[in-house]
Amino acid sequence: MKATKIILWLLGALFGLLALVVIYLLVAFDPNDYRQRIGEMVQEKTGLQLEIKGPMSWSLFPQFAITLEDVQAGYPDRPTVATLQHASVAMDVPALISGRLSLSGLMVDGLVLDLNRDKTGANNWDRPSAASSSPAARSTAEPGSQPASSASRSMALAIDDIDLQNVQVNYHDLQANQNIALGPVNLRASAIRLGQAFPLTLTLPLSVQADGKQAIQLGNKLQASMLLDPERQLYQLHDMDLLSTIDGVTRQSLLLEIKGDVDADLQQQQVRLPNLKLALNGMQGQLDATVKDLQKAPALLGSLQIAELNLRKWLSDIGMSVSLPDEKALTAASMATALMVDRQQLSLTNLTARLDESKISGSFQQPLNKGQTEFKLGIDQLNLDRYVASSASVATKPEASSSTTAAATAKTTSDAGYSKAPMLPVDALQGLNLRGSVQLGKLTYQQVAMSQVKFNVAAAAGKLVIDQASAQIAEGKVALKAQVDAQKVPLRNQLQFNVDHLALEQVQTLLGSTQPAVNGIGSMSGSLSMSGNSVFDWVNSLNGSAKANVTDGRLNNINLTQQICEGIAFANQETLTAAADSEHTRLTNASLQAQFNNGVAHIDSAQGQLVGASAKGSGQINLPQRQLDMGVGVIIEGDTSREACTINPKFQGLEWPLRCQGSLDGDPAKWCRPDKEGFTKTLTSLASNEAKRKAQKELNRALDKQSDKLSEKLGGDNAEAVKGLLQGLFKK
C-alpha cells in the first residue's frame, strides 16, 4: 500500500510538473517573439522571404493549435507571390503520438497567389539561382536524404472539418498577353476519413482573358459525396452535381449542369464516367465513357447522346439570332455518336444525327494539335431552301436610301453591276486543313431538285480542291472539279465541268436568273480559270474554253424567223399583214464553241437547226461590259408559216443576215434585227439572178421559134445542130 501511494504521488507530481511546464510555455513563451526568426529560417531553406505581419497564437494540449494572420511571401526584388489573411489548424496530439493524423479543424481565409510572368519570360515564383545554389538548398537535394517511410505514408487521416474561404489564384502572363483568375475558391468538407465517403461542397470560379479580348468566365459549384482511399488507390465522386455558368462565349450566359458519378481506379489506370447526365441551357445529353491508360496515353472512350430539341429556340435563348426562310427549320435536332478523345485527336464514329427531316450519318476526326480534319457524311435528304435565302429574294429586297448605304454599295459594285465584295474567306482558306466526302440522296436548292449528289473536298497549304463532284439534275448529270489557290495574290481559281442532258432553264434559275434566255435539253463542257475574290474579279479575268449543245430548245423572246420576214418586207417596201404566232425561236438542235479571254467570249462557230430554217453565226459576248455583238445568218429551208410568215420559195436556200447586238440586261426581243445592208445585197443578187433567168427563158423561146423555121429549110438533124450552136453562143 505504501509503495502504491508513493507511485501515485510520483505520477501526480509528474503530471503536475507537466501541467506547470505547459502553463509556463503558454504564459512565458510567446510565438510572436519568433516571427522574425521563422522568416529567416524559411529564407535560408528556400530563398523565400516570409513575413508574418499579424499576431500568432498557439496551444499545446490536448490539441496542438496554431493561428496565423496577415502573412505574405515572395522572392527578393520580385512581386509578392502569396498573401494570407488568416489560417488556423488544430491537431490531436495523442492521436499524432499513436500514428494517426487527426485534425479537428483546418481553416484558411484570404489566401491569394499572384503568379506573374514578365515580357522576358521570367516568373516571380521561380527560385532565384543564388538561393537554389545555397548550401542549405543543396542539402535538401543531396542523395543522403531518405524517402518517407511506409509507416508515414500509411498514416491514418482524420479531419473533422475543412473550411477554405476566399482562396484566389491570379496568373498574369505579359509575354503571352494572357490573364487567368481562379477564385474566390470556397471549400467545405467534414468528417473526412480515408476509405469513407464524406460530403464536399466546392465553388470554383474561373476567368480567362487573352489578347485583350472579352474574358471567358466560368462559375463552378460542386456538391458531391467524396471517397479517398489511397491504400486501394480509389477516388470517387458519387451523387455529383456540378453547376457551371459560362459567360463571354455567347451573348447570353450558358448554364451547364453535370450529374452522376466519377470513379477513379489508379491501380487499373482508369476513370469511369457511367451515364453522366448533361444539360446545357435546356439541351439534354448523356455521356457514358471511360478514361483509360492514365499515365502513359490517356484516352476517353465512350458514347454521347443529345436528346431531340428545338435547336432554333435554343440558339435564340443563348443570344444567337436565327433568320431562315422557313420558320419551322431547325425545330428538331438530335445526335448520337461513339466518342474517342486522346492527346492527338477527337474522333466521332458511328455518328447518327437528325436535322428536321434530314437523317445524317458518318464520322468525324479533329486533331487537337496541328493536323488534318477528316470527315465522311451521308445525308438522305436536304432542302437548302429552308435554310438559305434564294438569290431572287435577296435581289428583290428594297434598297436603303441612306447615304451610308449608297456609299457602301458604290464601293462593292462596278459600273457593270458586278459586286466587288469578297466572296471567299481568304484567311480561313489559308489555315484550312481538311479532307472529307459528302453524299446526299436528295438535295433541293433554289427549287432545283438534285439526287445522288456527292463530292470530295480537300484543303491544305492554302489550296481548296473539290473533286469527283457529281449530281443528277432534271434527268441530267453534272460532274465538276474546282480548285481555289489562296496562297497566291490574287486568288487563282479553276473550274472543269461536264453537263449531260440537263434542263437549261433550271440551270439558269440555279444561277439566279429569273428570266431564262434559253430553254431545252443541254450538254456542256469546259475548262475555265479566273483570279481574284469577287464576282467583278472573276468576270474580268475569265479565261478558257467551253462548248455547248442544245436539243429540243427555244430562244426566249427572240423569233429569228420573224426577223427574216420583217427584213424581206422592208427590202420589198412591204408591210407584214400579221404578227408572229410565237415570240420565241424553236431549236431542234444547236451547238456553239466559245473561247474566253479576260471575260470576253469569242464565238467562232455557232450553228442551229430551226423549224423550216437553219442558222449559223459568230461574234462575241463581252461579260465585263455586259454587251452582245454577233452576226447570224439564217437560211430558209422549208415551211415557216407556223413560226412567223409564209416565205416565197424563191427565197429559200439564201442566207439572210441578222445582227444581234445590245446589253445583256436589256430586252432579248430587241437584240436581233435584220442586217438591212445585207438584206439589200441578197435581194439585189436575187433580182439579178431572176432577171437573168427571165432573159434566158425569153432567149430560149426565141431560139425555139427560129429553130422551127430552120428545121423546115435545113431538115431535122441539121436544124437541131444549128439550134444547139446558137444557144451555146448566147449563154456565153
The per-residue pLDDT for range 278-307, each reduced to its tens digit, is: 999 999 999 999 999 999 999 999 999 999
pLDDT for 205: 94
Is residue 603 very low, low, confident or very high in pLDDT (cuts 50, 70, 90)? very high
pLDDT digits (tens, 9 = 90+) for 586-597: 778 888 899 999
Q: Looking at residue 408, what is its pLDDT? A: 42
Asked if residue 393 has pLDDT above 60, the reply is: no
In degrees and rounded to multiples of 5, residue 576 shows phi and psi of -65, 135
Residues 86-93, mean pLDDT to the nearest whole number: 83
The radius of gyration of the chain's CA atoms, rounded to the nearest angstrom, is 47
Task: Supply 148's cell numbers.
Answer: 518517407
Q: What distances in angstroms separate CA 713 from CA 560, 676, 723, one per listed residue? A: 60, 55, 13
- 512-563 tens-digit pLDDT: 666 777 788 888 899 999 999 998 999 999 999 999 888 887 777 777 666 6
Closest CA to 84 of 102, 101, 97, 66: 66
How much of the chain exceeds pLDDT 90, in percent? 38
Q: Are strands 49-52 and 672-674 parallel, antiparallel or unpaired?
A: unpaired
Q: Convert the pLDDT of each residue in 621-679 to its tens digit.
A: 999 998 999 888 877 776 555 544 556 666 667 777 888 888 888 877 788 777 777 76
* Residue 632 one-letter amino acid: V
What's the average model confidence in pLDDT over 238-265?
Answer: 93
> Which residues of 357-475 form beta strands (DSSP E)?
358-367, 373-383, 434-445, 448-460, 463-473
What cell was used for 714? Answer: 435545113
Largest separation between any pair of C-alpha atoms in the chain? 200
| DSSP state, residue 625 | T
Q: Which residue has the higher pLDDT, 396 or 204?
A: 204
Among 583, 706, 689, 568, smallest CA distance to 644 is for 583
Q: What pLDDT does 4 receive?
A: 45
Task: Tell me how crowded residue 212 is: count the other CB atoms within 10 A of its CB.
Answer: 9
Res. 411: pLDDT tops 50: no
Reported confidence tier of residue 702, pLDDT bands at 50, 70, 90: low
Report the C-alpha gap between 284 and 309 in whole angstroms.
Answer: 8
- Best-predicted range by mean pLDDT (128-137, 426-435, 565-574): 426-435
Confidence of residue 216 (pLDDT cuts 50, 70, 90): confident
- d(CA 703, CA 168) in angstroms, rounded, equals 128
Question: What pLDDT was estimated at residue 716?
Answer: 52
What is the predicted pLDDT for the residue at 395? Answer: 39
Task: Return d(Cα 30, Cα 725) in angstroms, integer.
Answer: 158
Q: Which pLDDT belongs to residue 331?
A: 94
**Judging by DSSP bridges, how do beta strands 627-636 and 655-663 pair with one another?**
antiparallel
| CB under 8 A, 24+ apart: contacts of 540-544 | 540/418, 540/598, 540/599, 540/624, 541/598, 541/599, 542/596, 542/598, 542/599, 542/623, 543/596, 543/597, 543/598, 544/595, 544/596
Q: How far apart (Å, rounded) are the C-alpha atoms in residues 185 and 140? A: 32
Local confidence band at 481 (pLDDT 50, 70, 90 cut-offs):
very high
Looking at this protein, which amino acid is placed at residue 527? S
Q: What mean pLDDT comes out for the span 458-473? A: 91
Q: State yes or no: pLDDT of 415 exceeds 80.
A: no
Tell me which amino acid residue 560 is: L
Res 400 pLDDT > 60: no
Quote the pLDDT of residue 717. Answer: 56
Show the CA angle centred on residue 370, arms to residues 364 and 375, nearest 5°.
15
pLDDT bracket for residue 78 (50, 70, 90):
confident
Per-residue model confidence (pLDDT) at position 564: 66
Q: Among 11-15, 174-178, 223-227, 557-561, which stretch is predicted with the lowest mean pLDDT?
A: 11-15
pLDDT value of residue 688: 62
pLDDT tens-digit map of 127-167: 876 544 445 444 444 444 444 444 444 556 788 899 999 99
Nearest in space to 263 (alpha carbons), one of 296, 227, 294: 227
CA separation, residue 129 to residues 134, 522, 597 (Å)? 9, 81, 71
Which pLDDT belongs to residue 646? 56
The answer, yes or no, to whether residue 251 has pLDDT greater than 50, is: yes
Nearest-CA neighbor of 601 among 519, 664, 647? 664
145 burial type by CB count under 10 A (0-12 exposed, 13-18 middle, 19+ buried): exposed
Arithmetic mean of pLDDT over the chain: 79
Residues 6 or more apart whose Cβ sits within 8 Å of residue 399: 405, 409
453 pLDDT more than 90: yes
**Contact criterion met (CB below 8 Å) for 347 and 339:** yes
Q: Which candidate, 616, 624, 631, places its Cα nearest to that of 663?
A: 624
Q: Where are the alpha helices (DSSP H) in 432-559?
A: 504-510, 535-540
pLDDT of residue 566: 65
- Tally of residues, the chain: 732
Task: State how far the Cα of 701 lies from the Cα of 650, in Å rounded to an integer.
Answer: 22
Q: How confident is the model at residue 363 (pLDDT cuts 50, 70, 90)?
A: very high
Q: What does the alpha-carbon distance between residue 357 and residue 369 come to, in Å, rounded to a whole number? A: 35
The pLDDT value recorded for residue 718 is 55
Q: Answer with the residue of higher pLDDT: 183 or 257.
A: 257
pLDDT at 342 (0 to 100): 93
Task: Locate the domains of the chain by residue range.
Answer: 20-125+155-229, 250-377, 414-515+531-541, 542-674, 695-731
Confidence of residue 196 (pLDDT cuts 50, 70, 90): very high
- pLDDT at position 11: 46
Q: Tell me: pLDDT of 371 over 70.
A: yes
Torsion of CA 526, 532, 537, 541, to 10 degrees: -40
Listed range (244-253, 475-484, 655-664) with the worst mean pLDDT: 655-664
Q: How far is CA 478 from CA 379, 447, 602, in A?
A: 19, 17, 24
What's the confidence (pLDDT) of residue 498?
93
Q: Kindly report the CA angle at 164 between 158 and 169, in degrees rounded to 5?
A: 130
